[in-house]
Amino acid sequence: MNPEELKDRFLEILTPPRPSDWEAEENLAPVAALPESRQDLILRQVGAIWPVSNSLCYSYLACADKALSCLNEAQVSGWVATLLDIYEKEGLKAAQTFMADVESNYLCLLRGETGVRLADVAPRLLPYAKSILKSLESFEKAEEVSTDTASIYLPGKLAIFAGEAENFLLYKLIITCQLSLIRGGTCLASIDPAALPAGKLPTGTLSASITARLELEELWNLFPDPRLAEDIFTLAEGWRVSLDLAANFPGLWRDCHALREDLVKRRPPLSAMPEKSRVVEILSRYLISGRIPTGHDLDEERLHHVIDRFDQAAESAAESAAKLLALYELLNQIRGTYEPVEPVFYLGRLKPEQARRVRMRKRAGSRDKFIKALAAILPDSAGPDSGEKEESEPGKDRARVDSEEAVALLINRTAAEDKTSAATETEEDRKPGRHIILEGPEVELTAELKELSSEIRADLGQVPEEYISAAFGLAGKGAPPPAGADDGHGAGLAASVTYDEWDFRRRGFRKKWCVLNEKRVLPVKGTFVGHTLEKYRGLLIKLKKQFEMLRCTERLLKRQRDGDDIDLDAVIESISDLRAGRPESEKLFVRLSRDERDIAVLFLIDMSASTEGWVGDALKEALILMGEALEVLGDRFAIAGFSGMRRTRADFYHVKDFSEKYNEEIERRIAGIAPQEYTRMGPPVRHATKILAEAEARVKLLIVLSDGKPEDYDDYKGDYAIEDTRHALIEAKAAGVHPFCITIDQQAHDYLAHMYGEVNYIFLDRVSDLPIRMPAIYRNLTT
């Protein structure tokens, strides 16, 4: 097509904002000279790229011909989906780099010939890592392997080996090695000078002036060459890690044998290194493979002295520090300078300063959580003047809250004391939990409080007195606020959850695209509930009778081998078969079967701004009637609401969980349902599906009540929003959840059938019908 036709086609594809004519012509110049079939293939991808980034689309047009020349037509959409994933995770520059070399960056990966990306292996390896170390938070991309104890820093891509399996295994080895460093206390080690062997450091005698414990950097800086000291200590700890992996992860260590041999072959040649560096390099290779390399051109006797000292097992970082003193002294006898050698790839470099920063962050977090958890079980009047003192029973794990010292004594029981008590405890003592006596009644220490106490004792030796004093002070000011922040609409419950979103334009997911925040609707006191119950009093009496009859259903099962009565039809048919020479049937009875209901239903309520007024009131009235009716019926049910404001804040409001009983508190939460912002529907549907998937029930039903099509403030609108919601509903069906929509959108017919399927929705043209129709709809869905 000519340049003008090409420009018109390009502009027709684009969603607003569209570029000016001259801007379109300028960016289409690389495409204009191509054959029409080629132009068509390139332009077909623009509809998926332009809504994500205009700049990325222009970069794509600039290199599209060269990039797509490597791909067949069936591979193009997959390549574009990968391109968009990289752009959304790593930015424009990374996406441009990806487009520059299709063969290496896409096709080789597609064929499994070279490399794996951290983003692809993390979903498999992070659960593995957390099963070893629960406190690990994440994997992070970095040029150099290291850990700060909260995260493990890994290369964004490994392409050291030709096969995908080998590179995946290397990732696993790196992660397990870093976990061993964390578990072994290497990253946060501090060395007691008194524990080091008597003798001289290179900087002079270990004198009384060095009395405080040494952080690792302080230890290394005592040597004339701190980097040499660091490398020797890292290798000494690496040897300790190797022994740990061989003992506790023998399968992995064995599987990695050939891989480690290959890593040795890839290290720099010994011949180009100074003598000191050569010795450290030999130690590195010995650590990796367990063999001393040949061709090193070093004094054999001296080298064997070094290897023999290095080979000695160390039980702790302090013993590795002692090994450092001995090895440094041996290497100091070698003349010449030291040039740092390449770190052992899976060991990396130690970053103690970063680890200490994480420890301080975690320590502050544990302190705050502990204070709030302890304050929550202390009375407002807790303290020395709280009334008459009562002696705790001897042998019991209890304390009278008449002083901070009594609580501190209980909290700071060591693990050794717990074991001693366990050896002599009676049957009564074995009842779970420790107790504090609060003005007579006993309050059990929560599992959270016991866990936090253990965590703090492991870090600091005991829970500091100031933590307990702060909890007493907070208790005197009233109970702490509920977990999470209160934004005025609901109390936060937990950490955010990230969900993918389906992008129909690329025929794939936008990975970890939308952040969903869980909140609790705050209860509201008022007349709404009472007014609703009075308004529908007659209907409610009728509903309760109807739903009571549904508690179990009776069916007459015919043609059974045994039963309550004779099946005359079956008997006549059997006699006829016998006279005709055919074998007679043994199934000659009818049996009355009573089917117990096994249903879990989640009502998902649209809380967008458009529900304000009559719509919102009708939704709440319907929920109150359903709550009353379902209490009679006995079906398990939950209620939640949803709203959204851009992809970084999709809100999921818990009103009633499956584990909660329907009561006045739940009714007040229903009354507290209020319109919020927009209707980002896909992520809440996925979260509701997750909740239902965990519920134990034969039938799982998701009922969505909404007044309009899905739409958010950002680009979540139109076909994109409808297709993402539709895909979320397909995911629900695949998980064994049956979705159904009740809508009062007068324009709903054109998209609801596409989203839910022809028989999975119902349209109400009058808002006032909802409280009356909804129980009948539920009855039809579940019988």
Where is 556: in which H helix or E strand? Answer: strand 552-560
Contact in structure between 287 and 239 (CB atoms under 8 Å): yes
The domain in which residue 577 lies consists of 554-593
Do 266 and 365 share a structural domain? no
Q: What's the pLDDT at 386?
A: 41
Which percentage of the chain shows pLDDT scores above 70? 81
Is the pLDDT assigned to residue 458 strictly greater than 90?
Answer: no
Q: Where are the alpha helices (DSSP H) in 703-769?
A: 718-734, 749-756
Residue 679 to residue 676: CA distance in whole angstroms: 9
Cα separation of 59 and 624, whole Å?
Answer: 55
* Residue 315 CB burial class (10 angstroms; 0-12, 13-18, ≥19): exposed
Among candidate residues 304, 330, 350, the one where a domain is terminated: 350
Whole-model pTM over 0.75: no
- Evaluate if residue 186 carries a pLDDT over 60: yes
Q: Order of strands, edge to edge, in the sheet holding 146-147? A: 138-141, 151-154, 146-147
Q: Is residue 33 part of a domain?
A: yes
Most confident segment among 54-68, 272-286, 289-303: 272-286
The per-residue b/e assignment along 421-446, b for 16 or more CB within 10 angstroms, e otherwise, is eeeeeeeeeeeeebbbbbeeeebbbe
* Six token digits for residue 224: 């004339």
Residue 215 lies in a domain: yes
- Which residue, among 121, 158, 118, 120, has the nearest Cα to 140 in the 3D structure? 118
207 lies in the same domain as 252: yes
The answer to whether the bond into 17 is cis (omega within 30° of 0) is: yes
Q: Name the band, by pLDDT with cuts 50, 70 and 90, for residue 10.
A: confident
Q: Indicate whether 618 pLDDT > 70.
A: yes
Same domain? For 563 and 647 the reply is: no
Q: How far apart are CA 656 and CA 638, in angstroms?
A: 5
Q: 230 and 196, same structural domain?
A: yes
Q: Are 259 and 169 in contact (CB under 8 A)?
A: yes
pLDDT at res. 209: 52
Q: Report yes or no: 663 and 703 within 8 Å, Cβ to Cβ.
A: no
pLDDT of residue 184: 93
Say if CB 583 and CB 562 are below 8 A apart. no
Q: Which residue has the higher pLDDT, 19 or 759?
A: 19
pLDDT-derived band at 490 (thresholds 50, 70, 90) equals low
User: Phi first, then psi: what are they for 59, rounded to 5°?
Assistant: -65, -40
In a domain, 504, yes or no: no
240: confidence class by pLDDT, cuts 50, 70, 90:
very high
Q: What is the distance between the alpha carbons of residues 56 and 77, in angstroms, rounded to a whole number?
A: 16
Q: How confident is residue 410, by pLDDT bands cut at 50, 70 and 90?
A: low
Q: Which of 408, 398, 488 is closest to 453 using CA atoms?
A: 408
Distances from the Cα of 255 to the Cα of 14, 167, 258, 676, angstroms: 52, 13, 7, 55
Q: Which amino acid belongs to residue 160?
A: I
The torsion of the CA quartet 386, 389, 395, 398, rounded to 10 degrees, works out to -10
Nearest to 253 by CA among 382, 117, 346, 138: 346
The DSSP-derived string for 104-153 is IIIIHHHTT-S-EEHHHHHHHHHHHHHHH-TT--EEEE-SS-EE-SSEEE
Q: What angle do CA 34, 35, 36 make, to 5 degrees?
A: 115
CB 700 within 8 A of CB 737: yes
Say if residues 171 and 145 touch (Cβ distance below 8 Å). Answer: no
Residue 729 lies in a domain: yes
Q: Is the pLDDT of residue 460 over 50?
A: yes
* 442-444: strand order across its sheet: 398-400, 435-437, 442-444
Inside any domain, residue 650: yes
What is the number of structural domains in the chain?
5
The amino acid present at 48, given as its one-letter code, is A
Please answer whether residues 450 and 458 qualify as being in contact, where contact means their C-beta atoms are separated by less than 8 angstroms.
no
364/461 same-domain check: yes
Express each pLDDT in 462-486 by its tens digit: 888 878 877 777 765 433 333 334 4
Neighbour order of strands in the sheet with 589-596: 552-560, 589-596, 565-566
Burial group, residue 665, by CB count within 10 angstroms (0-12, 13-18, 19+): exposed
Question: How is residue 231 written in tokens?
Answer: 């490398």
Residue 346: DSSP 8-state: T
**Each residue's pLDDT tens digit, 108-149:** 666 655 678 898 899 999 999 999 998 899 999 998 999 999
| Three-class secondary structure of residue 257 per DSSP | helix
Query: Do both 566 and 582 map to the same domain?
Result: yes
How many Å apart are CA 701 and CA 86, to the nearest integer?
A: 37
DSSP character string of 615-663: HHHHHHHHHHHHHHHHHHH--EEEEEEEEESSTT-EEEEEEE-TTSPPS
Q: Please indicate, yes or no, if residue 661 is contained in any of the structural domains.
A: yes
**Residue 637 in domain:** yes
Facing residues of 465 across strands?
none
**Number of separate helices (H) and strands (E) present in the chain:** 32, 24
Pair type for strands 699-706 and 650-656: unpaired
214 in the same domain as 66: no
C-alpha separations of 770 from 43, 617, 672, 773 in Å: 47, 10, 19, 5
Q: 328 and 222 in one domain?
A: yes
Q: How far apart are CA 624 and CA 628, in angstroms?
A: 6
**pLDDT for 231:** 95
Quick one: pLDDT band at residue 416, thresholds 50, 70, 90? very low
- The widest CA-to-CA distance across the chain, in whole angstroms, is 114
Q: What is the pLDDT of residues 284-321, one digit of tens each?
A: 999 999 988 887 778 888 888 899 999 988 889 999 99
* Least confident segment among 57-61, 437-441, 576-580, 650-654: 437-441
Q: Which residues pair with 146 in a beta bridge?
A: 153
For residue 117, give the nearest of 158, 176, 81, 170 by alpha carbon.
158
Q: Which residue has the higher pLDDT, 56 or 485?
A: 56
Residue with tokens 């799982």: 700
Whether 121 is covered by a domain: the verdict is no
- Which residues, other chains included, contact 462 with Cβ-Cβ below 8 Å and sequence gap of 6+? 412, 414, 456
* Highest mean pLDDT, choosing among 409-418, 572-581, 611-620: 572-581
CB 11 within 8 A of CB 25: no
Which residues on adjacent β-strands are paired with residue 436? 399, 443
User: For the packed helices 465-476 and 404-411, what is the interaxial angle rounded to 10 degrees?
Assistant: 130
Closest CA to 321 of 203, 215, 473: 215
Peptide bond into 583 cis (omega under 30): no
Same domain assignment for residues 765 and 664: yes
- Identify whether residues 192 and 270 lie together within a single domain: yes
Half-sphere exposure of 138 (CA within 13 A, CB side): 5
What is the mean pLDDT of the segment spanning 389-412? 53
Long-range contacts of 578-585 (CB under 8 A, 24+ apart): 585/559
**Residue that terminates a domain, selected from 113, 128, 161:** 113
**Would you state the structure tokens that stand for residue 17, as one six-digit string?**
């904002």
What does the block give as tokens for 464? 């500091």
- Reported residue count of the chain is 783
Name residue 370's amino acid.
Answer: F
The number of beta carbons lying within 10 Å of the beta carbon of residue 300 is 9
**Lowest model confidence (mean pLDDT) among 326-335, 375-384, 394-403, 773-782:** 394-403
Which of 524 and 182 is assigned the larger pLDDT? 182
**Are residues 193 and 291 located together in one domain of the fold?**
yes
For 221, the 3-state DSSP assignment is coil
Which pLDDT score is estimated for 382?
Answer: 43
Confidence of residue 40 (pLDDT cuts 50, 70, 90): confident
List, in order, residues 6 or more apart from 781 with CB less than 8 Å away: 701, 703, 738, 740
Give 397's contacts (C-beta < 8 A, 6+ positions apart): 410, 413, 421, 429, 433, 434, 435
The answer on 732 and 608 residing in a single domain is: yes
Can you tell me whether residue 315 is helix, strand or coil?
coil
SS3 assignment, position 251: helix
Q: What is the CATH number of the domain that holds 731?
A: 3.40.50.410
Q: How far is CA 324 from CA 212, 226, 236, 290, in A?
A: 19, 12, 7, 19
pLDDT exceeds cutoff 80 at 595: no
Q: DSSP letter string over 466-508?
A: HHHHHHHHHHHT-PPPPSS-B-SSEEE-S--EEEEEEETTTTE
Is 60 exceeded by the pLDDT of residue 377? yes
Residue 389 has a pLDDT of 40
pLDDT tens digits for range 663-717: 999 999 998 898 888 889 999 999 999 999 988 888 899 999 887 788 888 889 8
Please say if the pLDDT value at position 428 is more than 50.
no
Per-residue pLDDT, averaged over 341-358, amounts to 93
With tokens 């450091």, the residue in question is 201
pLDDT of residue 401: 46
> Are 154 and 175 within 8 A, CB to CB?
yes
